[in-house]
Structure 1
Amino acid sequence: MLEEVERWLAERSWSAADRPLDQLLDRKRASGSTVSVVLPALDEEETVGAIVEVIRRDLIEGLPLPLVDELVVLDSGSSDRTAEVAAAAGARVVHRDAVLPRIPSLPGKGEVLWRSLLVTTGDIVCFVDADLRDFSSTFVSGIVGPLLTEPEVQFVKAMYDRPYAPGTTGPGTTGPGTTGPGTAGPGSAAPPGQGGRVTELVARPLLNLHWPQLAGFVQPLGGEYAVRRSLLERLPFPVGYGVELGLLVDALHMVGLDALAQVDVGVRLHRHQDERALGRMAAAIYRTAQLRLSRGHLVRPELTQFERGPDGFVPRTYPVDTEERPPMAEVKEYALRSVA
């Protein structure tokens, strides 16, 4: 298995610099492919506008052929000005609850990613988290690139360094309790590669033990990845924190390792979850893995954590995400749209 992973790393791991933008535009023109970029967003007014502006400036406007044909922000029910800021920057903003209204929406990042397939049309769908800072358009062009130049590749994840800077907490894209921007404060230096704690403590051990073919992915839980619609519409979507692991594992089983790839896009700066949110994330990821290992009964889909109160430690119990959405190809509204 180690030999297979090493072979895959040599053949399916690239740098964003390997495919210059003019090369991608030539291949896009020749193939006739279209590209949709989706930003799932929850209370991201501080960062979403800059991301939209960079994508529009670098990948849509002023090019002989736009690399990105659709730029959509899926609002998960923000209480701040996320929708207004994104629209002012030039994105099409769609509220989660306006998509497929016959099915009541559930909280969670995976839910909005799943619903985004109904409001986008691109042959390639590229997901980008809305809390990134110092955003570079190579996050998009880098992971879209192999899908334009390598016909056999169907699913591409971004890989990057994730500096970690503990500090302030605040709202985030996929859940409560996230920490401030991924840069160190005055007089300190953020150690390289120290973000992604749930990746190292939960996801990577699970993948190495149960799906060792996926051991070569540097950032298996990263929120930046591009997928051919023809594959994405056939995959089930965990509605919450487990969506990235679930999609990756299911894609492996559906199309095989050589259809998966990763691209180095540099450094990812973003808000980090606090410890309690990380615990809930870890539980959801473990549950997603468990379902894929056994499709068996969940003994207790809840997680109890503790907070110190005036009289000692107080238990707080949270539900673990247990819902999954079916492959979009099985939803009648999606099928009817394809026929139309």
Structure 2
Amino acid sequence: MIPAKDEADRIAATVTAARGLPAVDLVVVVDDGSSDRTVELALDSGARVLRHSRNRGKGAAMETGAEGVLMVEEHEAAAGTVRPPRHLLFLDADLAETAKDAAPLVLPVLEGTADMTVALFPATRLRLGGHGFVVRLARDGVRKATGWEPEQPLNGQRCLKRAAFEAARPLAPGFGVETGLSIDVLRAGFRVKEVEVPLEHRATGTDLRAQMHRARQFVDVARALAARDLGPAVRRTWGDAVDGARGGAKEMSRKIGQIARKKR
């Protein structure tokens, strides 16, 4: 399952690599309001494509994709092919050729040693521009909610059983989806583990656009935690920045910058 928005440069390589993964017999791309050739290139590469007419965010794309897989399975059953529900492997659209290295995420779920796996990118290949304060917020929230402390709580490369996914619905909106998914799956009693995989994707950078992106991430993660009754606990650590989640991204960027500098 590959949520995508304006990923024409990489979507074909990502789909092609994903189709070669072990046990993968279906690749679904959910186009989240792209204005480029993402849909055309995904189709040409062998993916099934579902489309949002406007951008609805990653969480909505993940849910649309899961519904699409369910529809495929219903059609298969109507044609006489009855099978257990497929596990769901979520990959970012910008992985390109490195998506072929996601196999270690699949095996623990297939073998029954985990109900959800989360990718752990090796530090030597993690060149993502340093959004550490958002990572710390998500990590703090997951730990306080479940007792589990993930190293890379925002990593979107995940494989999980359908039952685990359904237990986490509705998913948290926006960039809070990974944090909310981890908390909800663990609270429902499923087993989660991080698995090192040699994947990589684009760095977010350090310019103003990247800072605004991280501000939006912070807002969405803070809201996901608050929706799971973790607002007071996180506020004790992050103070005004969490309270500022109701404000605009520019104000959030200023506040979280102040907090992040204090925590270095």
Q: Give TM-score scaled by structure 1 length.
A: 0.59
CA distance in 2, matches of 1:211, 1:145: 27
**1:326 — aligned with what?**
none
Change (3 A) 1:295 1:207: closer
Secondary structure at 2:193's aligned position in 1? strand
Find the partner of 1:111 among 60, 64, 69: 60
Task: After TM superposition, give the deviation of residue 290 of structure 1 in Å.
Answer: 1.3
Matches within 5 A, 1:1-340: 38-56=1-19, 58-59=20-21, 67-97=23-53, 107-121=56-70, 122-139=85-102, 141-150=103-112, 153-161=114-122, 195-208=130-143, 210-211=144-145, 213-215=147-149, 217-236=150-169, 237-256=171-190, 259-272=191-204, 274-293=210-229, 302-306=246-250
Change (3 A) 1:212 1:124: closer
Task: After TM superposition, give the deviation of residue 132 of structure 1 in Å.
Answer: 1.9
Secondary structure at 1:85's aligned position in 2? helix
Structure 1 stretches of 4+ with a deviation exceeding 3 A read 190-196, 198-201, 298-301
Task: After TM superposition, give the deviation of residue 87 of structure 1 in Å.
Answer: 0.9
Identity level (%): 27
CA distance in 2, matches of 1:71, 1:266: 21
Q: Give TM-score scaled by structure 2 length.
A: 0.75
Does structure 1 retain, via aligned residues, the 8 Å contact 2:222–2:231?
A: no
CA distance in 2, matches of 1:207, 1:86: 34
CA distance in 2, matches of 1:316, 1:153: 37
Change (3 A) 1:123 1:316: closer
Which structure exhibits the higher relative contact order, with contacts defined as CA atoms closer than 8 Å and separated by 6 or more residues?
A: 1
CA RMSD of aligned residues (A): 2.8
Give the total of aligned pairs. Answer: 225
| Higher Rg of the two aligned structures | 1
CA distance in 1, matches of 2:101, 2:126: 23
Task: After TM superposition, give the deviation of residue 200 of structure 1 in Å.
Answer: 3.3
Does structure 2 retain, via aligned residues, the 8 Å contact 1:106–1:239?
A: no
Task: List gaps (5 residues or longer) in structure 1.
Answer: 1-37, 60-65, 98-104, 164-189, 307-314, 318-340
Amino acid at match of 1:92: R
Task: List gaps (5 residues or longer) in structure 2.
Answer: 71-84, 233-241, 254-264
Task: After TM superposition, give the deviation of residue 295 of structure 1 in Å.
Answer: 8.4
Task: After TM superposition, give the deviation of residue 303 of structure 1 in Å.
Answer: 2.5
**More strand as a share of residues:** 1
Task: After TM superposition, give the deviation of residue 249 of structure 1 in Å.
Answer: 0.3
